[in-house]
Amino acid sequence: MAAGSRGSSRQAARERAFRLLAVAVSALFLAFAALGGAFFWYDHAAGMLAHAHQVRAELEGLRQSLTEAESAHRAYVLTGRPRFAEQVEAARADAETRFVTLKALTADSPDQSARLTRLRALMDTHLTVIDQTVAARKAGAPVAAIGIIMKGEGVAAMDGVRRIAGELEAEEKRLERQRARQVNAVRVIVLAALLIFAALLALIFFRALRDISLDREAEADTAERLRGLLADRELLLAEVNHRVKNSLAQVASMVRLQARAVDHPDARDALEKTLDRIMAVGRVHEQLYRADDAVGLFDAGRYAEGLARDLVESLGREDVRLETEIQPVMLEVRHAVPLALILNELITNALKYGCPADRPSRIKVGFGTEGELLRLSVADDGDGLPSAFSPAESKSLGMRAIEVLARQLGGSFEIGHPKTGASFAVVFPRSS
């Protein structure tokens, strides 16, 4: 009877674990669907932001071309040199090309199109005055040419062009600010989704571990039952790890495909960074469950050492030397995902900004005790940071993510300014 009860207990524990696993996989795909929608929104907003940048660039080019035409035609009137007449024609052609481009870019905005219509009329007046002046000078009548200039019609028209161009630019700046807020909102949503997903996955997995641990305690009376329990545990852990890694690999593949399909560099960069973070969570499972640590604990030092080397090797920088100064520290398993994401961000940042491709570089990773606290640090020997650099004011999503993860660990994010390179550290207590 007792054996039957123990068998039922084991079966119930396994069923609970597999139900939790099913929930985890479902949550993973739901999270990916939400992220896909967020990335689509991000790509659209980023594209509109780039559109506003292009409009402003074309406006500035138009103003510059008209100004150059004005300056060149005055120089031609004064000197009669043919090269100034050629400059007038080149500037005029460039202005016409830029106006056509602006008209196409603003076709979807009635207000901007109306402003361009007014600008076209003033631009025609300005160019007509230039043509008349150049023609008079070519005919050998410099005094007549100067008289045309002195009437002031061209100057008044150019002033009007500048005024309307200013109105066009002001509207595009307003649209830029609006679209920038949309892009930043999507970035925050993506970060929050990643953090929520990681927390949910950890919670479900730890509950599965708890059920397995309870089942083991029920059978701890004999060595045989303990060996049977451990065999069941290893089998279940292997199954959980296999399924989680496969699910993460599927998510990574879909994110990778999305990144290849996105044209805008900012959106593609965001997807690639998200892919790096998903792979960092995958490395958690790769290293965590290869270890023979006590249930609920892991050797964070050994884990950080392996993860750091995997990250450097995976990025293919053979010119970068990795140095480690790491102590063995046993921590609760719930710290694994935040530490992985922090280490991923710091090492990726060091490789991107602190290890120039034109010379050998060094990255130093440290982890160990500092009084009553733990300290995880990453330093490089690159060009360093601006003296006033602040992660809170940085546009980097990774810097802000590290601050959030540090607070999740109950610690703080520190930035050092050594004589060479840059230094970052997260200091946190053993338990939070």
Whole-Å CA distances, 283 to 102, 231, 370: 49, 24, 26
The closest of 109, 52, 83 to 75, measured between CA atoms, is: 83
pLDDT of 209 > 70? The answer is no
pLDDT of 106 > 90? The answer is no
The closest of 234, 360, 365, 376 to 308, measured between CA atoms, is: 365
Q: In whole numbers, what is the pLDDT of the chain averaged over residues?
A: 76
Could you read off the pLDDT of 221-274 as tens digits, one per residue? 545 665 665 555 555 555 555 555 566 665 656 566 555 666 667 666 666 657
Which of the pair, 63 or 275, is modelled with greater confidence? Answer: 63
pLDDT band at 5 (very low <50, low <70, confident <90, very high): low
Could you read off the pLDDT of 116-128 as tens digits, one per residue? 899 898 888 888 8
Give CA–CA dist 429/425, Å, rounded.
13
The closest of 119, 131, 111 to 157, measured between CA atoms, is: 119
Decide: 295 and 331 in contact? Cβ < 8 Å. Answer: no
pLDDT of 42 > 60? The answer is no
Tokens for 350? Answer: 């060091």
**Stated pTM of the model:** 0.42
Give CA–CA dist 62/67, Å, rounded.
9
pLDDT of 361 > 80? The answer is yes
pLDDT band at 288 (very low <50, low <70, confident <90, very high): low
Domains and CATH numbers, the chain: 299-432 (3.30.565.10)
Cα of first residue to Cα of last residue in the chain, in angstroms, is: 44
Tokens for 410? Answer: 């109950």
Work out the average pLDDT over 371-384.
89
Which of the pair, 124 or 286, is modelled with greater confidence? Answer: 124
The closest of 117, 63, 118 to 95, measured between CA atoms, is: 63
Strands (E), 31-183: none
Give CA–CA dist 255/267, Å, rounded.
12
Could you identify the residue written with the tokens 């397995």?
A: 212
Give CA–CA dist 337/342, Å, rounded.
9
pLDDT band at 32 (very low <50, low <70, confident <90, very high): low
Could you read off the pLDDT of 127-166 as tens digits, one per residue? 888 888 888 888 888 888 788 888 888 888 888 888 988 8
Sign of torsion, CA 356 359 360 361?
A: negative
Angle between helix 82-105 and helix 2-79 axes, rounded to 10 deg: 150
User: Side chain identity at 8, as an amino acid letter?
Assistant: S
Decide: 375 and 368 in contact? Cβ < 8 Å. Answer: yes
The backbone torsions φ and ψ at residue 294, rounded to the nearest 5 degrees and listed phi first, read: -65, 150
351 three-state secondary structure: helix
The whole-number pLDDT of residue 363 equals: 92
pLDDT band at 1 (very low <50, low <70, confident <90, very high): very low
The closest of 158, 166, 160 to 127, measured between CA atoms, is: 158
